[in-house]
């Protein structure tokens, strides 16, 4: 007899209810750890959450490696991402056939908007625009989820809720999300795929949000869970080790029982802590139940969501059973599907679709198929993988791809590395490599076996590759060995810093922070010295200067490509933010040296993130960017460089000119910082959406279906208002062009400040040579909504908007006016302290301090200076006082209120002494103009806190 929970003909909830009834309390509790044990008496297998699938199956051996997410996003093509996601999901299923422990719950995609280009995990995200991120993530999730109507191919997990965008202090920093930033810049990226029904789980972030750890934040229930119709339809998992951080790094909870209980009550279903050992988590949750910190209802709610996830994948179906008329789910998947030819072809297509032609002066590209080509630089003949890459089934570099098409004799290369040897001064012996790969100071001469290729992937950081074996020097079992195939690992062991002094040098092993010494008995090189004084000294002899070799290869070549970028495990990755936008000095110098002999050289950047090219950009005629695009990098790039595929990639984020043009890495308030494409007014090197084709497109007539619309709240957008924008295009006379028409909105005089640019529509159109084409774009009026913090609603406000049509956020070809009719917002009366319109020197914190998740207060955070808040459009007529709920840090501190004068200057309006050390009510007498509304600035002394505000009218007013 079939157990009800195995009957796929029954509703999911009924099946889960039946299974929960059959499980003991201990078995239900055990489901809440990432590694849940088997329940043999019910035939339940062991289960774990989390197969990494950011751009292919990772950490499970060979798999098709697609471009990094930021490279996939450069296609601006949600359908392409859906096809990639479908292929990745199929390979996950194929891996599970070979190993039943492979989870069908995948930890992907990352949907945190790329708000800051120095974030170490830039490669993992899609775009700085939250709505474009949502669109692309929805496509990728739809592919991972699969096409079967009932059974999910895999269950995607959105990462990381919420406001995660820095690696420095990521477990203790507090992301400040005032109301507009929360609703306009952060939530939409998550909301899109959740409401589309293609994401079945979400992972929480390490950081705090407004002073509350994300793992206990009320925002999980208030927003994330509120977007799903089925209360069991979205499982929430912790990031690795985050529950323990609540006790250790964040010092938010007194012990793990209190921490886990708070996370469970906040909405966490699955705890990823202590690796594959569930013991500490289960003991902590058991203690929390005994102490009354959590209830069995909390446990059952979490268990229900995790079981729902498993039922969705078909794991608990009776073999062979299916509802009438239903096709078997994924019955055609085979273990051989990993790396199948269709997936490899799709990977190649994705590489080309995400390659962005940034500049092409003088028509240097596409490359003619005649003459010689010099392909030089550290990434010319390399395909690099990142932390979340799988092992490629096969890889093709750019040099290999070009040689296959143009002939081996037509392509020359040099990687720009120096060929060096190291003579140990104490023993007068050269460092060589033994048969087992060990580095020994043992050779009498600097023969081939004692030579290494020294490269500098980041300023001051070098790698050493054995010239004979081609293996990188790494830390083996305590000693250095030339055995690594690539730079990698959670803690990179293949990088060094060189300390030069007095004609000799010492090597610092970056991974251990120890200096390299030489064992006086064996001659082995060991990173053991704690101080520079204990380091071995070496004389570094250069046998081949890398830059000179690259210049020699380029000299006289008909065409030159300089291929450089980043090593994905160095200077920017998980746990490590970048220090600068600048291209490493060694790479920049290589480009300049090659240009001196080859002014026609083309720069090909292969990187996980944007660069600021500075004055180097003025010297370059052509620049192409690609992400680290996986195993088909060379083939896809060659397709574009040779003109076999028209360039169609567009930047998914802004490239800025200089570090000075960026906000602080921990500053999440794009409005106040005037940062990102939406608000930045200067410093843009290449804007969002930028990318060229080999041919030019001329924009002709641009028309809209209507010039009017009606103001509405975004929550009540059932009207489905939209504006149709029709654009006429004329193609290049000689080439077909793939144009991405983009529509941005702005509204300079809106009651609530509107972004300088907001992406509201985009559409790809192919224009044949010399032909005309017409494209129609749909602009939902609700995309014009802003968060009106005065009234706590997201709404399209009345006013004049402008729809800007063009080929990037800054390349505007036409504008259309749109009048939105409606009543202007009434003057603001009661005012919440956190609902400010502008600020300086303040932070949002829990009102009651550490260990709480309730109300949020505002604290003046600048020592000696305090901070201020601005509230626009407040009622003025008849107002006699501002009533504040506030707390001073010490006695005698005053709160001051100012009003904006007709000139824009802030004029004194009132002040009052704050209660010291405890919350109290303060009335600040105000002297306001008799006008109907005014703007107020509230100034707080350092350390003071502010919560509720109320404008008090005079009696009879």
Which positions are annotated as active-site residues?
Answer: 239
CB crowding 694-705: b at 16 or more within 10 Å, else e: bbebebeebebe
Phi-psi map region of 407: left, alpha, beta (phi>0 left; psi -120 to 50 alpha): left
Taking the CA atoms of residue 382, residue 386, residue 391 and residue 395 in that order, the dihedral angle to the nearest 10 degrees is -20
Residue 213 half-sphere exposure toward CB, CA atoms < 13 A: 30
Three-state DSSP at 430 gives strand
Which tokens hold the place of 642?
Answer: 């040779």
Whole-number Å distance between alpha carbons of 147 and 607: 33
Distance in Å from the first CA to the final CA of the chain: 77
Helix axes 341-354, 633-641, angle to 10 degrees: 50
Nearest by Cα to 828 from 768, 859, 869, 781:
869
Whole-number Å distance between alpha carbons of 611 and 484: 28
Q: Kind of pairing, strands 373-376 and 411-414?
A: parallel
Whole-number Å distance between alpha carbons of 30 and 279: 9
Enter the DSSP assignment of 251: -
Nearest by Cα to 677 from 745, 577, 777:
745
Nearest by Cα to 565 from 606, 611, 625, 626:
606
Nearest by Cα to 376 from 544, 542, 545, 552:
552
Whole-number Å distance between alpha carbons of 111 and 129: 10
Whole-number Å distance between alpha carbons of 678 and 669: 12
Q: Kind of pairing, strands 894-900 and 906-913?
A: antiparallel
Q: Any bridge partners for residue 737, and if so which?
A: 767
- Contact status, residue 626 vs residue 71, Cβ threshold 8 Å: yes
- What are the backbone dihedrals phi and psi of residue 621, each rounded to the nearest 5 degrees, phi first? -85, -35
Task: Scan for tokens 């746990």, then name that residue.
Answer: 575
Which tokens hold the place of 431?
Answer: 């460092």
Whole-number Å distance between alpha carbons of 929 and 604: 61
Nearest by Cα to 471 from 456, 462, 484, 452:
484
- Contact status, residue 464 vs residue 471, Cβ threshold 8 Å: no
Which tokens hold the place of 829?
Answer: 């009366």
Whole-number Å distance between alpha carbons of 186 and 216: 18
What is the H or E stretch that residue 439 is in? strand 439-443
Whole-number Å distance between alpha carbons of 776 and 729: 11
Burial of 41 (0-12, 13-18, 19+ CB in 10 A): exposed
Enter the DSSP assignment of 25: H
Residue 280 to residues 149, 255, 866, Cα–Cα distance (Å): 39, 12, 43
Whole-number Å distance between alpha carbons of 574 and 576: 6
Task: Scan for tokens 């641009």, then name that residue.
Answer: 702
Q: What distance lies between CA 841 and its chain's CA centroid?
A: 27
Residue-wise DSSP of 299-328: HHHHHHHHHHHHHHTTTTSPTT---TTPPP
Whole-number Å distance between alpha carbons of 533 and 6: 68
- Contact status, residue 664 vs residue 656, Cβ threshold 8 Å: no
Enter the DSSP assignment of 419: E
């Amino acid at each position: 007899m079939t157990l009800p929970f195995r009957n796929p003909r029954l509703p999911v909830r009924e099946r889960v209810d039946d299974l929960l009834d059959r499980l003991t309390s201990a078995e239900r509790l055990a489901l809440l750890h990432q590694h849940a044990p088997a329940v043999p008496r019910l035939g339940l297998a062991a289960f774990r959450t989390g197969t990494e699938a950011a751009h292919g199956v990772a950490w499970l051996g060979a798999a098709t490696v697609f471009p990094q997410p930021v490279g996939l996003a450069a296609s601006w093509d949600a359908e392409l991402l859906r096809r990639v996601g479908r292929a990745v999901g199929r390979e996950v299923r194929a891996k599970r056939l070979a190993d039943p422990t492979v989870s069908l719950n995948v930890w992907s995609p990352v949907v945190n908007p790329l708000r800051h280009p120095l974030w170490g995990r830039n490669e993992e995200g899609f775009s700085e625009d939250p709505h474009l991120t949502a669109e692309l993530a929805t496509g990728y999730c739809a592919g991972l989820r699969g096409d079967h109507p009932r059974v999910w191919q895999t269950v995607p997990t959105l990462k990381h809720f919420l406001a995660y965008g820095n690696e420095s202090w990521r477990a203790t920093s507090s992301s400040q999300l005032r109301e507009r930033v929360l609703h306009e810049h952060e939530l939409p990226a998550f909301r899109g795929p959740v409401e589309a029904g293609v994401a079945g789980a979400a992972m929480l972030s390490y950081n705090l949000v407004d002073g509350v750890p994300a793992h206990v934040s009320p925002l999980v229930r208030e927003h994330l869970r509120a977007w799903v119709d089925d209360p069991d339809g979205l499982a929430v998992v912790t990031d690795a080790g985050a529950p323990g951080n609540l006790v250790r790094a964040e010092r938010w909870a007194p012990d793990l029982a209190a921490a886990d209980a708070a996370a469970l009550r906040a909405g966490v279903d699955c705890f990823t802590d202590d690796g594959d050992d569930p013991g500490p988590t289960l003991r902590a949750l058991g203690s929390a139940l005994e102490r009354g910190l959590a209830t069995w209802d909390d446990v059952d709610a979490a268990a229900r969501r995790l079981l729902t996830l498993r039922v969705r994948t078909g794991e608990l179906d009776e073999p062979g059973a299916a509802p009438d008329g239903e096709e078997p789910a994924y019955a055609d998947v085979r273990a051989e599907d990993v790396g199948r030819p269709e997936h490899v072809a799709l990977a190649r297509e994705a590489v080309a679709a995400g390659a962005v032609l940034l500049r092409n002066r003088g028509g240097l590209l596409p490359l003619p198929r005649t003459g010689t080509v010099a392909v030089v630089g550290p990434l010319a003949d390399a395909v690099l993988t990142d932390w979340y890459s799988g092992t490629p089934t096969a890889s093709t570099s750019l040099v290999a791809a070009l040689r296959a098409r143009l002939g081996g004799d037509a392509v020359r290369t040099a990687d720009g590395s120096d060929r060096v040897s190291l003579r140990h001064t104490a023993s007068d012996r050269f460092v060589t490599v033994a048969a087992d790969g060990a580095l020994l100071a043992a050779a009498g001469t600097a023969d081939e076996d004692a030579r290494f290729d020294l490269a500098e992937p980041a300023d001051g950081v070098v790698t050493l590759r054995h010239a004979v074996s081609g293996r990188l020097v790494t830390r083996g079992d305590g000693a250095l060995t030339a055995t690594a195939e690539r730079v990698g690992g959670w803690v990179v062991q293949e990088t060094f810093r060189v300390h030069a002094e007095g004609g000799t040098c010492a090597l610092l092993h970056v991974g251990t922070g120890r200096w390299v010494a030489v064992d006086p008995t064996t001659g082995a090189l060991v990173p053991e010295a704690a101080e520079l004084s204990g380091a071995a000294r070496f004389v570094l002899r250069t046998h081949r200067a890398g830059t000179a070799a690259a210049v020699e290869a380029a000299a006289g070549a008909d065409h030159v490509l300089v291929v450089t970028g980043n090593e994905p495990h160095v200077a920017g990755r998980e746990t490590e933010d970048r220090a600068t936008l600048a291209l490493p000095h060694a790479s920049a110098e290589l480009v300049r040296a090659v240009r001196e002999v080859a002014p026609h050289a083309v720069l090909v950047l292969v990187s996980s993130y944007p660069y600021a090219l500075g004055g180097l950009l003025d010297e370059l005629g052509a620049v192409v960017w690609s992400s680290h695009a996986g195993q088909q990098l060379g083939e896809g790039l060659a397709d574009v460089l040779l003109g076999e595929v028209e360039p169609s990639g567009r930047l998914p984020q802004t490239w800025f000119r200089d570090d000075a043009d960026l906000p602080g890495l921990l500053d999440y308030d794009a409005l106040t910082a005037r940062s990102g494409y939406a608000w930045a007014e200067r410093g843009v090197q290449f804007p969002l959406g930028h990318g060229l084709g080999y041919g030019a497109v001329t924009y002709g007539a641009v028309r809209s279906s209507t010039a009017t619309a009606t103001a509405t709240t975004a929550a009540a957008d059932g009207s489905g208002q939209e504006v149709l924008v029709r654009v006429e295009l004329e193609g290049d006379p000689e080439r077909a062009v793939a144009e991405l028409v983009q529509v941005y909105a702005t509204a300079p005089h809106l009651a609530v400040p509107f972004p300088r640019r907001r992406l509201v529509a985009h559409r790809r159109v192919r224009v044949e040579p010399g032909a005309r084409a017409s494209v129609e774009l749909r602009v939902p009026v609700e995309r014009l909504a802003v968060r009106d913090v005065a009234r706590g609603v997201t709404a399209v406000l009345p006013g004049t908007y402008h729809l800007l049509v063009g080929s990037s956020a800054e390349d505007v070809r036409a504008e259309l006016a749109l009048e939105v009719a409606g009543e202007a917002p009434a003057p603001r009366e009661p005012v919440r302290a956190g609902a400010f319109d502008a600020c300086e020197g303040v932070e949002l914190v829990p009102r009651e301090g550490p260990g709480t998740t309730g109300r949020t207060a505002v604290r003046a955070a600048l020592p000696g200076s305090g901070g201020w808040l601005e509230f626009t459009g407040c009622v003025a007529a008849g107002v006699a006082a501002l009533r504040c709920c506030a707390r001073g840090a010490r006695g005698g501190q005053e709160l001051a209120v100012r009003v904006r004068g007709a000139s824009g200057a802030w004029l004194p309006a009132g002040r009052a002494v704050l209660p010291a050390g405890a919350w109290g009510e303060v009335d600040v007498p105000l002297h306001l103009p008799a006008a109907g509304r005014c703007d107020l600035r509230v100034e707080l002394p350092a350390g003071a806190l502010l919560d509720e505000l109320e404008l008090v009218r005079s009696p009879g007013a």
